[in-house]
């Protein structure tokens, strides 16, 4: 066998070995992030920091691999991360635009995933998070899903595919017997997306009923637990699903015997949708997780009743389906702490390094770049306006950091020696850096750096902060009022819609009646009936039975009105 073919076959059995070999052929170095996040049978990468030139060996290794059981490709760029500190002010750091936003790159990634799905017999978990997948990308991905033989879990969390993209994915998922878990968190879905998923459940239910009937022959009991199909659906953070989407799921869950978990956190559901779900639980005894938390429009009592009803369905054997712990997106996407290094002074006594860990709730801004120094430095009280004067608020904060006071005093006594300060901050937005970020700021003297603090600027910032807090409170109150007004408007809209429907029905009935009366055929039929009646009266007159007509209350003047000569001629004959 040719040596290159043998090497290629060996590399297909080991992802990282194949990746290293492809990097060697390309003349590039393997990325440390790939090595750190690849195990023997799984790969889980945050790809925002990977350059476009480094993607080729990674995608080729992924396309021809047969041993990975789990693939995770994540991007945190599209999540709307909290920008704190220096990133908010765009002064010291510049956020890099990831290469995954390129349409060409996402297409190549989906082709690589399709190739892996088509040849792998062990791949069970596929997670594409935060990627901008377009229509062509989803078409490639669904072809790979259709050819997968062992895939059990699919996650497209934070991928803005919309209802159209979900429909494309559902067309492939509904015919797959191996997929059990799907996750479409924050995919910009509405109630139409809920209808697409409900159609998948109904399609699979028909197939499962057929399998259950076949297994129940000859007095056998069908095993519903081991049947193929979806078992858990996660649709968190899709605010436009609403009550209409909840009603769609309620209609589907009423007779479903297989779905175990449905997650609908932050889906804009109110009491109306929650009641429809509660009604569905009256007949559904297999659903063990129905997560409707973080829907503020649902009453506390109603939510409690739903959770209690679902917990009655569960038992100790259903340990596979857990209630999801869903922290806020800002907390879930935190990265490891970063470092900033400050070198103070230059002298002959060497460098001193101080590492200070900041709380994740505090932001590091360019205006407060020396906040850690001010909080831990405790100077003597000076008169306002003198050199080295600090506001009393800063002095009070400095008293809380007694562990650092002696150290800072020593530094203040000898500022000629260079000092290296490393500050660790839990930044949530610098996802493109895999190593610690070091920003070296040279300052000639610690005392001089403290003197640069402008008291007027500090007070101005305090006033601006109070003003912003006041505006935030007003906006929150206005938002609550707007939500209440929106709810009232929706109720009024529903009432007017029902009134409009009833009026349309009345107008339709009137129009039908008027059309009937305007029909010439109907009028002719009525006229013929009157003519026959008058002819009958003439016959009675001719037969000498006119008294019967008088007794019936018919006036004699009614006879012969129509002027039938053949009937009136008898009146002139003698009796």
416 occurs within a structural domain: yes
Answer yes or no: is pLDDT of 520 > 70: yes
Question: In the structure, what pLDDT confidence band is assigned to residue 376 with cuts at 50, 70 and 90?
Answer: very low
Domain identity same for 364 and 242: no
Query: What are residue 420's DSSP bridge partners?
Result: 343, 353
Domain identity same for 117 and 64: yes
546 occurs within a structural domain: yes
Q: CA 435, CA 324: separation in Å to the nearest integer?
A: 31
User: pLDDT tens digit string along 456-480?
Assistant: 788 888 888 988 999 999 999 999 9
Q: CA 540, CA 551: separation in Å to the nearest integer?
A: 13
| Residue 363 or residue 499, greater confidence | 499
Domain identity same for 359 and 246: no
Question: In the structure, what pLDDT confidence band is assigned to residue 230 with cuts at 50, 70 and 90?
Answer: very high
Answer yes or no: is pLDDT of 421 > 80: no
Q: CA 379, CA 371: separation in Å to the nearest integer?
A: 15
- Eight-class DSSP state of 322: P
pLDDT at residue number 380: 52
469 occurs within a structural domain: no
512 occurs within a structural domain: no
Structure tokens at 409: 């005093």
Answer yes or no: is pLDDT of 304 > 70: yes
CB 560 within 8 A of CB 568: yes
Answer yes or no: is pLDDT of 351 > 70: no
Domain identity same for 343 and 446: yes
Q: What is the CATH number of the domain that holds 190?
A: 3.80.10.10
What would the mean pLDDT of 441-449 be, rounded to a whole number? 43
Domain identity same for 430 and 303: no
Answer yes or no: is pLDDT of 440 > 60: no
Answer yes or no: is pLDDT of 14 > 70: yes
Q: What is the CATH number of the domain that holds 66?
A: 3.80.10
CB 145 within 8 A of CB 123: no
Answer yes or no: is pLDDT of 433 > 60: no
Residue 437: domain span? 335-453
Domain identity same for 302 and 420: no
Domain identity same for 344 and 432: yes
513 occurs within a structural domain: no
Q: CA 233, CA 264: separation in Å to the nearest integer?
A: 9
Q: How many CB atoms lie within 10 A of CB 339?
A: 15
Global pTM value: 0.56
Give 178's contacts (C-beta < 8 A, 6+ positions apart). 148, 149, 150, 151, 152, 228
Q: Which of 270, 293, 324 is the last residue of a domain?
A: 324
What's the domain count of the chain?
A: 4
Mean pLDDT of the chain: 76
Query: What are residue 443's DSSP bridge partners?
Result: 344
Give the position of tokens 């924050």. Answer: 186
Domain identity same for 78 and 195: no
Lowest mean pLDDT across 50-59, 327-336, 438-447: 438-447
511 occurs within a structural domain: no
Domain identity same for 24 and 119: yes
Q: CA 109, CA 141: separation in Å to the nearest integer?
A: 9
Q: Which of 324, 356, 371 is the last residue of a domain?
A: 324
pLDDT at residue number 556: 55
Domain identity same for 137 and 253: no
Q: CA 309, CA 380: separation in Å to the nearest integer?
A: 65
Q: CA 412, CA 404: separation in Å to the nearest integer?
A: 12
Angle between helices 191-215 and 242-253 (to 10 degrees): 10
Give 18's contacts (C-beta < 8 A, 6+ positions apart). 11, 12, 60, 61, 64, 65
pLDDT at residue number 332: 44
45 occurs within a structural domain: yes
Domain identity same for 8 and 147: yes
369 occurs within a structural domain: yes
Q: CA 181, CA 264: separation in Å to the nearest integer?
A: 14
Question: In the structure, what pLDDT confidence band is assigned to residue 531 with cuts at 50, 70 and 90?
Answer: confident
Beta strands in 13-148, from DSSP E residues, in sequence order:
42-46, 70-74, 125-129
Answer yes or no: is pLDDT of 228 > 90: no
Domain identity same for 60 and 130: yes
């Amino acid at each position: 066998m040719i040596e290159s073919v043998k090497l290629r076959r060996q590399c297909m059995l080991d992802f990282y070995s194949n990746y290293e070999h492809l990097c060697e052929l390309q003349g590039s170095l393997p990325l440390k992030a790939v090595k750190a996040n690849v195990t023997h049978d799984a790969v889980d990468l945050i790809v925002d920091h990977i350059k476009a030139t480094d993607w080729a060996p990674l995608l080729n290794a992924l396309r021809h691999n047969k041993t990975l059981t789990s693939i995770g490709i994540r991007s945190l760029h599209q999540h709307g991360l909290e920008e704190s500190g220096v990133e908010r002010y765009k002064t010291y750091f510049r956020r890099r635009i990831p290469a995954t936003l390129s349409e060409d790159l996402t297409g190549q990634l989906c082709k690589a995933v399709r190739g892996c799905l088509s040849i792998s017999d062990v791949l069970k978990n596929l997670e594409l998070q935060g990627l901008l997948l377009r229509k062509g990308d989803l078409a490639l991905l669904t072809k790979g899903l259709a050819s997968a033989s062992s895939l059990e879990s699919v996650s497209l969390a934070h991928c803005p595919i919309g209802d159209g993209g979900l429909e494309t994915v559902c067309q492939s998922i509904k015919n797959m017997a191996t997929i059990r878990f799907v996750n479409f968190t924050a995919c910009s879905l509405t109630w139409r997306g809920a209808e697409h998923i409900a159609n998948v459940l109904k399609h699979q239910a028909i197939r499962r009923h057929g399998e259950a009937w076949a297994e129940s022959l000859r007095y056998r009991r069908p095993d519903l637990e081991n049947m193929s199909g979806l078992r858990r659906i996660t649709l968190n953070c899709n605010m436009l699903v609403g009550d209409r989407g909840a009603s769609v799921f309620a209609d589907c869950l009423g007779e479903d015997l297989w779905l175990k978990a449905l997650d609908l956190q932050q889906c804009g559901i109110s009491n109306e949708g929650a009641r429809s779900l509660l009604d569905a639980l009256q007949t559904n005894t297999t659903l063990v997780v129905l997560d409707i938390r973080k829907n503020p429009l649902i009453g506390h009592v109603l939510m409690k009743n739903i959770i209690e009803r679902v917990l009655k369905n569960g038992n100790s054997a259903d340990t596979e389906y857990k209630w999801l712990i869903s922290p806020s997106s800002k907390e879930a996407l935190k990265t490891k702490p970063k470092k900033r290094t400050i070198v103070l002074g230059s002298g002959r006594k060497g460098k001193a390094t101080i590492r200070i860990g900041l709380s994740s709730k505090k932001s590091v801004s360019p205006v407060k770049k020396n906040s850690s120094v001010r909080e831990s430095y405790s100077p003597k009280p000076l008169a306002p306006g003198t050199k080295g004067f600090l506001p009393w608020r800063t002095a009070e904060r400095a008293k809380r950091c007694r562990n650092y006071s002696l150290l800072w005093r020593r530094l203040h006594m000898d500022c000629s020696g260079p000092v290296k300060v490393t500050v660790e901050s839990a930044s949530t937005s610098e996802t493109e850096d895999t190593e610690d970020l070091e920003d070296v700021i040279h300052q000639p003297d610690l005392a001089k750096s403290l003197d640069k603090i402008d008291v007027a600027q500090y007070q101005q910032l305090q006033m601006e902060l109070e003003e912003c807090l006041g505006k935030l409170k007003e906006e929150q109150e206005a938002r609550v009022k707007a939500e209440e007004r929106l709810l009232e408007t929706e109720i009024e809209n529903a009432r007017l819609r029902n009134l409009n429907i009833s009026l349309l029905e009345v107008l339709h009935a009137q129009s039908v009646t008027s059309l009937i009366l305007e029909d010439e055929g109907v009028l002719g039929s009525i006229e013929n009936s009157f003519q026959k009646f008058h002819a009958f009266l003439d016959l009675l007159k001719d037969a000498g039975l006119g008294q019967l007509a008088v007794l019936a209350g018919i006036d004699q003047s009614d006879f012969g009105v129509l002027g039938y000569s053949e009937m009136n001629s008898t009146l002139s004959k003698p009796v």
